[in-house]
Homo-oligomer: A and B are copies of this chain.
């Protein structure tokens, strides 16, 4: 272990993480990542930012908002590489979130499948037919329409 540079420039981070430099500044503005500055005001990122970014991107891929991610990352320390227990704490939260999403997707898929498989030409008793009522029974005003992120507490 000899030449691993301590701090990375924004360009290096962009290349290594696959995240555009514009997005990196954007994430920093949003408080998702942090950097130090050189005497000449240029950003220098610790290597740990790469792990943070991997986490952010992964979370996004599964449909979580940057705000959700921000909240989760807020539990990690800013100024040191996260320890196992830091990650563990975070992971536990996300595990539940992921479970919930997986569950919702599976239920949707299975209902769709069983409806189509059930042979009910009239669609009278099936999911697709009745779904409207389930929706309606949320009551008017209830669905405040955050379609892709019901996990955020």
Contact = CB atoms under 8 A, between A and B. Distances in A.
Interface of A: 14-20, 23, 50-51, 53-55, 57-58, 60-63, 83-84, 87-88, 91-92, 94-95, 98-99, 101-102, 104-106, 108-109, 112-113, 115-116, 119-121, 123, 128-129, 131-132, 134-136, 138-140, 142-143, 145, 147-148, 150
A91 B114 CA distance: 10
A140 B87 CA distance: 27
A132 B60 contact: no
B112 A18 contact: no
A148 B51 contact: no
Contacts of A140: 14-15, 18
Contacts of A116: 84, 87-88, 91-92
A15 B92 CA distance: 38
